Amino acid sequence: MKTVRLVKKAKKGNKEALLQLINEQQDAYYRLALSYMGNPHDAMDAMEDMIVSLYHSIPQLKKEESFYSWSKTILVNRCKKLSQKQNKIVLMENADESLDEALKISEGTNSFKQTEQRLDLKGMLAMLSSDQREAIELHYFHDLELQAIADMTNVPIGTVKSRIFQGLKKMRDQFGGEWHE
């Protein structure tokens, strides 16, 4: 596997290998940081912090195949730390750009309908607790595995499942519709 080979090189101090790993998931890192930080400038700051942290801590990575979930956990922690430093409690509330990107609505549809759908979804997510919203966004918009979300948020996987289930149930009860898992 190419990723494992690059991680092994990076663990031995190869900066180019580390940069190649980061570049392969650059867009995913940016969307994740933006969803936490709320603006592009702060998202880039968080990504820079993540890169420095990865460079210093990659020798401690035990499972090479877990590099991307490990690095995204570091990114989330950096975002939370920066938010606390700036006395912000943004936690995924003002991330219009990342939500628009994450929705990936096809360009062939009516732009009025797209705007309406985005507003509906933002309204639905806004009524959830920050924990439920975070779990749902990480799982459905950023395609993260449940275990990775549990690791990032420092809660058991059962708690992540419960937050997602309860959040989706709350949205369904409030807005109607069918249940799709």
The angle at the Cα of 154, spanning 125 to 88, to the nearest 5 degrees, equals 55
Mean pLDDT of 162-177: 86
The answer to whether residue 115 is domain-embedded is yes
Mean pLDDT of the chain, nearest integer: 82
Range of the domain at 26: 2-175
pLDDT at 89: 44
The answer to whether residue 88 is domain-embedded is yes
47 pLDDT higher than 60: yes
Question: Could you give the CA distance from residue 31 to residue 17 in angstroms, rounded to a whole number?
Answer: 22
Percent of the chain with pLDDT over 90: 48
Question: What's the pLDDT tens digit per position in 3-44?
Answer: 999 999 999 999 999 999 999 999 999 999 998 888 899 999
The answer to whether residue 29 is domain-embedded is yes
Question: What's the pLDDT tens digit per position in 80-113?
Answer: 888 877 754 444 544 444 555 555 433 444 555 5
The answer to whether residue 152 is domain-embedded is yes
137 pLDDT higher than 90: no
The answer to whether residue 133 is domain-embedded is yes
The model's confidence at residue 72, banded by pLDDT at 50, 70 and 90, is very high
The answer to whether residue 180 is domain-embedded is no
59 pLDDT higher than 90: yes
pLDDT at 172: 85
pLDDT at 112: 57
CB-based contact 43:34 (threshold 8 Å)? yes
The answer to whether residue 92 is domain-embedded is yes
The model's confidence at residue 131, banded by pLDDT at 50, 70 and 90, is very high
Region for residue 90 given its phi and psi (left: phi exceeds 0; alpha: psi -120 to 50; beta: otherwise): alpha
Q: How many domains does the chain have?
A: 1
The answer to whether residue 181 is domain-embedded is no
